[in-house]
Structure 1
Amino acid sequence: MKDVVLEKAMHKCILKPLKGHVEAMLKHFHVADGSWKQLKENLQLVRQRNPQELGVFAPTPDFVDVEKIKVKFMTMQKMYSPEKKVMLLLRVCKLIYTVMENNSGRMYGADDFLPVLTYVIAQCDMLELDTEVEYMMELLDPSLLHGEGGYYLTSTYGALSLIKNFQEEQAARLLSSEARDTLRQWHKRRTTNRTVPSVDDFQVRGQRPGWAPLLPHGPRGSGPPTPNYLRVAFQEVNSGCTGKTLLVRPYVTTEDVCQLCAEKFKVADPQEYSLFLFVDETWQQLAEDTYPQKIKAELHSRPQPHVFHFVYKRIKKDPYGIIFQNGEEDLSAS
């Protein structure tokens, strides 16, 4: 508690009076190196494209929602506290996720979210977001980079990098490599704990014309790569507004995910809850020793696309004996 109070006091005493100077220096730096000119030109190019051309295959915020998001970004600019900025960024990204999920009736992962975030940032047309992200990445307490805050901050950096590299096909490959290196260097410099999100935790599903492969794909021939994030709903499939995006490594078990869900969803009696897979209109309670990311990867690798959801919900007292319909195998046994 003392550390929190001390940090807030330091922000007020040091960051508040220096905020304008820091922002002016960042702007001067980016104008001098030409990156703002490139970003300004590419923002205009991206705004002229329809969402599908940008790799967006999920519902996007309408004009009213984009204006609301732009107002939040403008409010974020006025703040001097990096923590408050990140909290507002978190609210913006959750609003985008809610629009995506409420307008489609399904849940989306990191690979679907990044193109939508890129589209929204382009529609907002705010050069200053570039320096806002840099301000947060450099001044935020490393302990606050855990979980969703770090995830959305890194996502926003990735979205801006995609816009900067838009349609510069030859240069884009070099710049995207540079962006990955920058993120990795930042990650090493600003964190000491590997559970903080890094560039390797993100994945763009499919490369669209004009877009650089900013985020790394899995080894050739390994099948669809699995992002290290798992979107989990609470109680119901369509509870997008209360769903959580969790950092889940490929070999983290369902038991561990349940413990994380109990904490994130503030469940008082976690022994009464479990992680379920909803696919093909069928519910299946996952065994504690299964691996959700491996199940997700297997579903993605099937020839026919499957709409599926991971849901953390209360266990019914009636015994379960659920198997997949249409003779498909029980994924929890894999």
Structure 2
Amino acid sequence: MLFCCSKLRSFLGNWGVKVSNNGKVGGGGMMLGADDFLPLFVWVLVQSGMVAAEIEADYMWGLLHPSLLSGEGGYYLTTLSSAVHVLKSFRACSEEFTPGGAPLNWGTGSGPLAEFRSVLKIVVPDERNGSIITKTLPIRPNMTTKDVCKIIAHKVRITNPQDYGLYKLIDGEETVLADTDCPQDLKGNLANSGQHCMFAYKRIDAKIAWPKNASQ
């Protein structure tokens, strides 16, 4: 347990100097969402030659107390697991379709982040300003609604997460997800059947007039 705590502190320390709690990078204050930060993280992971990243991440997920995995710790550990998943999936695809290997292509739409379901975009109503913001989160395989809500609550600084829920949006109709649902699996299954869906994180009591056929 002490070893895992030390690993997590070291992990956060190495990245904390580069990425602040609100997603700003370095002293210049450039904002990065997960769809920008994750490719950078994958590149650094490859360049570092870290061969046991998956094992170390699994140890930390399994042995650390849940209180240590909330907030910033959970966000960056999820980013590590997501990056490992991207590399494993991309390697498998490269070996299957291009035996000689291929460079990483981080393009939108058909790039690894979309193909390997490593990020999740969530819309969040800003009731104070009457607007809707979009947040992109790193996602590890089989991540549940409960875990996704913990990360998004941290990212948008929600102090009463018990009053919020994650909703599936299809043609303007919202359906609350159960804690054990896997949003990425739901999205993939709907896409396979020709349906488009979005996800929204909002107060359970909030009444939002969602637009129909909104694109993510």
TM-score (norm 2): 0.51
Distance change (3 Å), C-alpha of 1:262 and 1:314: same
Shift of 1:285: 1.1
- Does residue 46 of structure 2 align to residue 183 of structure 1? yes
> Contact 1:250–1:291 (CA<8 Å) still a contact in 2?
no
What amino acid does structure 2 have at the position aligned with 1:239?
I
Q: Is the 8 A contact 2:165 2:176 kept in 1?
A: yes
Q: Which has the higher helix share?
A: 1
Counterpart CA distance in 1 for 2:84 and 2:47 is 7
User: Which of the residues 153, 170, 178 maps onto 2:40?
Assistant: 153
Please report how far the alpha carbon of residue 249 of structure 1 lies from its aligned counterpart in structure 2 after TM superposition.
2.4
Asked if 1:235 is matched to 2:125, the reply is yes
Contact kept, 8 Å, 2:122 with 2:136, in 1: the verdict is: yes
Q: Following the alignment from structure 1 to structure 2, what is the Cα–Cα distance between the partners of residues 184 and 299?
A: 36
Tell me how far apart the structure 2 counterparts of residues 312 and 294 of structure 1 sit (CA, whole Å).
Answer: 17
Could you say which residue in structure 1 is the equivalent of 2:177? 286
- 1:232–1:312 Cα contact (<8 Å) kept: yes
- Whichever residue aligns with residue 143 of structure 2, its letter is V
Structure 1 residue aligned with 2:191: 300
Residues 198 and 187 from structure 1, CA distance in 2 versus in 1: closer, same or farther, beyond 3 angstroms?
farther
Q: Of the two structures, which has the highest relative contact order with CA contacts closer than 8 Å and spacing of 6 or more? A: 2
Q: 2: CA distance between counterparts of 1:235 and 1:187?
A: 39
Aligned-partner Cα distance in 2 for 1:84–1:264 = 13
Give CA deviations for 1:37-57 in whole Å, capped at 9, x if unaligned: xxxxxxxxxxxxxxxxxxxxx
Q: CA deviation at 1:294?
A: 0.7
Q: Aligned in 2, Cα 1:317/1:200: closer, same or farther, shift over 3 Å? A: closer
Aligned-pair CA distance for 1:193: 3.0
Q: Distance in 2 between matches of 1:278 and 1:315?
A: 14
Distance 1:228 1:310, change over 3 A: same
The CA RMSD over aligned residues, in Å, is 4.5
Do 2:85 and 2:141's aligned partners in 1 also have CA atoms closer than 8 Å?
Answer: no
Aligned: 1:87 with 2:22: no
Q: Which residue of the other structure, out of 28, 32, 57, is the alignment partner of 1:193? A: 57
- Which residues of 2 match residues 1-334 of structure 1 at below 5 A? 83=18, 87-88=25-26, 91=30, 93-94=32-33, 110=35, 149=37, 151-154=38-41, 157=43, 183=46, 186-188=49-51, 192-193=56-57, 195=77, 196=80, 197-198=82-83, 200-201=85-86, 212=102, 214=104, 225-235=115-125, 239-240=132-133, 243-302=134-193, 304=194, 306=196, 308-316=197-205
- Describe the SS at the equivalent of 1:289: coil
The 8 Å contact of residues 234 and 311 in structure 1, kept in 2 or not, is answered as yes
- Greater Rg by CA: 1
Structure with the larger strand share: 2
Distance 1:214 1:90, change over 3 A: farther
CA distance in 1, matches of 2:132, 2:155: 15
Q: Give 5+ residue unaligned stretches, structure 2.
A: 1-8, 59-76, 91-96, 106-113
Distance (Å, rounded) in 2 between the aligned partners of 1:296 and 1:305: 9
C-alpha distance in structure 2 between counterparts of 1:84 and 1:254, whole Å: 25
| In 1: Cα distance, 2:154 partner to 2:205 partner | 21
* 1:226 and 1:296 in contact (8 A); partners too: no
Residue 256 of structure 1 aligns to a residue whose secondary structure is helix
In structure 1, C-alpha distance between the alignment counterparts of 2:167 and 2:30, rounded to whole Å: 27
| Deviation digits for residues 161-202 of structure 1 (CA, Å, limit 9, x no counterpart) | xxxxxxxxxxxxxxxxxxxxx828634378943531425337
Which 5+ residue runs of structure 1 have no aligned equivalent? 8-80, 95-108, 111-147, 159-181, 216-223, 319-324, 326-334
